[in-house]
Homo-oligomer: A and B are copies of this chain.
């Protein structure tokens, strides 16, 4: 049942409508290497204790602490070194009174020992050394299970699999990992004015930049996006290509054709697909006419043809939908606060998103709009690493004000080394 009337809803409400859909990808089992950038489909438990045995956190000598009683500068106590073991080895000696085993960082404590003398705490001779302090039981020892016990949940279902996650999975021997499938995305740029990147320019036409941009945004999420041929403003063929994309992909993104103008076919396309329109007007600029619908368990995103609005729509709605479908725990845009370094005097009847550049310096984080911010100012996107988010119903943000900022590009920061 398509919604024809356009009532703007708040951005937060729009995100909630997107992520409350019961649309999820399947659980699959993949190899450890393949699991990166997926979402864990089940809790992961520790398969052994860490440490697995009492071990030495230093290079030194394993001894019996009771032998050290009374040691001080005037009363040095001598130990006889009876063995020498590396990190992967285990001593087969049993350590007796005033005996020691030379031990490497990470090596198991030899039988009978309960303390480690660090190299710098000794005076070494040939096969012996002396110490000048006493040691407590378990001094300089990493105890079995002190980090993790068997069965402890070490990774949670819904966690994004990053490098640290991979390290944990490897540690516990998970050569296969249960994850959710990544959704695939079909991208359809619409508009009779659009040319392909390699086409010669023609009067009144522009090249399609939203299609490649969405493919790139998808790749940032390690998703595969398939670009369909540019659709001219023709209802029947547009319905056909959207249907075809829906048959092959979990998400179909159209760009353009959502301006409230004469050639806006989206409502008719959604009607033909019997799609449920979640909303078709959001209290935001740019991109107020961003539309999201669902049909046959697939998401349909109607993003604006304006590149800034298209980018904003992807970050605000497509990305959370993708993470939601994969069962992720963390699905919202990443927001920080920064000091605005230029006046921004425009009224914001709706929540306004402004392409911006965040810089960190010793005083904190500052932000400036990243350039010309009119419709289609595609260069401003390339020079931004963030979006300033100004609440609706406000006017007159000034230099020095603190504003909310969504970080969009972790790699685009250019700054002095301040370490």
B419 touches A12 (CB 8 A): yes
Q: Which of A22-30, A72-80, A155-163, A243-251 contacts B (4 or more CB under 8 A)?
A: A155-163
Q: Which of A106, A205, A208 has the most CB of B within 10 A?
A: A106
Contacts of A329 in B (CB 8 A): 414
**In the bound complex, how far is the Cα of B416 from the Cα of A198, in angstroms?**
43
Contact of A260 with B by CB under 8 A: yes
Interface string of A187-202 (1 = CB under 8 A from B): 0000111100111010
Q: A88-B194, A104-B263, A147-B379 are in contact. Are A410 and B412 (CB under 8 A)?
A: no
Contacts of A210 in B (CB 8 A): 167
B192 touches A89 (CB 8 A): yes
Interface string of A82-103 (1 = CB under 8 A from B): 0010111110000000000010
Contact of A128 with B by CB under 8 A: no
Contact of A1 with B by CB under 8 A: no
Instruction: Find the B residue at minimum CB distance from A355.
Output: B164
Instruction: Find the B residue at minimum CB distance from A364.
Output: B337
Contacts of A167 in B (CB 8 A): 209-210, 212-213, 216, 307, 311, 378, 381-382
Shortest Cβ gap from A353 to chain B (Å): 10
Instruction: Find the B residue at minimum CB distance from A353.
Output: B419
**In the bound complex, how far is the Cα of B104 from the Cα of A63, in angstroms?**
85
B108 touches A203 (CB 8 A): yes
B413 touches A330 (CB 8 A): yes
Contact of A233 with B by CB under 8 A: yes
Shortest Cβ gap from A91 to chain B (Å): 9
Instruction: Find the B residue at minimum CB distance from A155.
Output: B382
B212 touches A170 (CB 8 A): yes
B217 touches A163 (CB 8 A): yes
In-complex Cβ contact of A311 among B51, B90, B164, B415 (8 A): B164
Contacts of A159 in B (CB 8 A): 382
Contact of A360 with B by CB under 8 A: yes
Contacts of A349 in B (CB 8 A): none
Shortest Cβ gap from A63 to chain B (Å): 18
Instruction: Find the B residue at minimum CB distance from A147.
Output: B372
**In the bound complex, how far is the Cα of B203 from the Cα of A51, in angstroms?**
12
Interface string of A15-39 (1 = CB under 8 A from B): 1100000000000000011001100
Instruction: Find the B residue at minimum CB distance from A218.
Output: B163
Contact of A207 with B by CB under 8 A: yes
**In the bound complex, how far is the Cα of B372 from the Cα of A105, in angstroms?**
18
Interface string of A136-162 (1 = CB under 8 A from B): 000000100011100000110001101
**In the bound complex, how far is the Cα of B59 from the Cα of A418, in angstroms?**
49
Q: A88-B204, A88-B205, A90-B204 are in contact. Are A197 and B334 (CB under 8 A)?
A: no
**In the bound complex, how far is the Cα of B58 from the Cα of A174, in angstroms?**
57
Contact of A365 with B by CB under 8 A: yes
**In the bound complex, how far is the Cα of B14 from the Cα of A419, in angstroms?**
11
Contact of A351 with B by CB under 8 A: yes
Instruction: Report the 6 A-B pairs with minimum CB-CB distance, sorted nearest first.
Output: A88-B193, A164-B381, A163-B216, A164-B382, A88-B192, A167-B213
Instruction: List 10 A-B pairs, Cβ < 8 Å.
Output: A59-B259, A104-B263, A105-B259, A108-B203, A147-B372, A162-B412, A167-B307, A171-B378, A330-B414, A404-B418
